[in-house]
Amino acid sequence: MNEELSKIESFLKGDSAVNRQLSSRAWLNMYGLKNNKIDRSSVLQNIGFPVRGEYHHCLGKYIKSCYGDNLFVRITNDRTGDVYNVIAKKGYIKQLKMKITQAVDLYRDRLTWLTSGSRSIFGVIQEHSAVFLLDIKTQSPEIFSDFVNSLKCLISEQIANMKMINMIRRIGFCGHLHTEEYVRVDKHTRASIILQLELYN
């Protein structure tokens, strides 16, 4: 059991777990409590055993024996109503609590990451290649400046991690291509896009 806990601990540590460019569903499938067997059901199975009841035909209902009433600490699963006898040692419970706390901290960090920077505006870009259509309709220098700053943030935080990119600026019914085809993302490409953005106004 200690080996399993160590694996979970190393799995949940590090910024790479926080800032992976994954959808929330995919991220939870990888880092969620259930996948790492520290969700409520898994925990209850590992720290004890359920108190079973048998159907009494004369009484016409399920009854539970009193065996172990004073031998074990008992807890109830709020969702299912099942009662469990707790047999895990105190040291293991403390370790388990620490792992769950680490998972909660990871979720908190992930939510902070998702709602910060360019992700709060554009979401998380998961594609390795993409074409961006820029539709700028404003005569306000302030709004345009905010628009450019948001795109700069997007470029530095997310586009920098992509492989290929192109951008189209919509002007009336026409589109102006940054290039005629996809270009590889590097520091020169990013600088060129930012320069064109600043010249658009």
- The ranges assigned to domains in the chain are 1-115, 120-200
Judged on CB neighbours under 10 Å (0-12, 13-18, 19+), 138 is: exposed
Judged on CB neighbours under 10 Å (0-12, 13-18, 19+), 46 is: middle
Angstrom distance (rounded) from CA 178 to CA 169 = 8
Q: pLDDT, tens digit, for every residue of 120-158? A: 999 999 999 988 888 777 778 888 888 889 999 999 999
State the pLDDT at residue 174: 46
For residue 10, give Cα distances in angstroms to 13, 20, 38, 79, 93.
5, 16, 14, 30, 19
Average pLDDT over residues 83-103: 87
Better pLDDT: 109 or 87: 109
Angstrom distance (rounded) from CA 184 to CA 192 = 12
Better pLDDT: 89 or 169: 89
Residue appearing with tokens 């109503």: 81
Specify which residues 62 forms β-bridges with.
55
Q: pLDDT, tens digit, for every residue of 157-191? A: 999 889 998 888 766 444 455 566 788 999 888 88
CB 145 within 8 A of CB 155: no
Q: pLDDT, tens digit, for every residue of 15-66? A: 578 988 888 999 999 999 988 888 888 887 788 777 766 655 666 665 555 5
Which residues 6+ apart lie within 8 Å of 32 measured at CB? 39
Question: How does the average pLDDT of the chain come out, rounded?
Answer: 79
Residue appearing with tokens 């450019």: 148
CB 47 within 8 A of CB 96: yes
Angstrom distance (rounded) from CA 19 to CA 16 = 5
State the pLDDT at residue 173: 45
How sure is the predictor about 90, in pLDDT bands with cuts at 50, 70 and 90?
Answer: confident
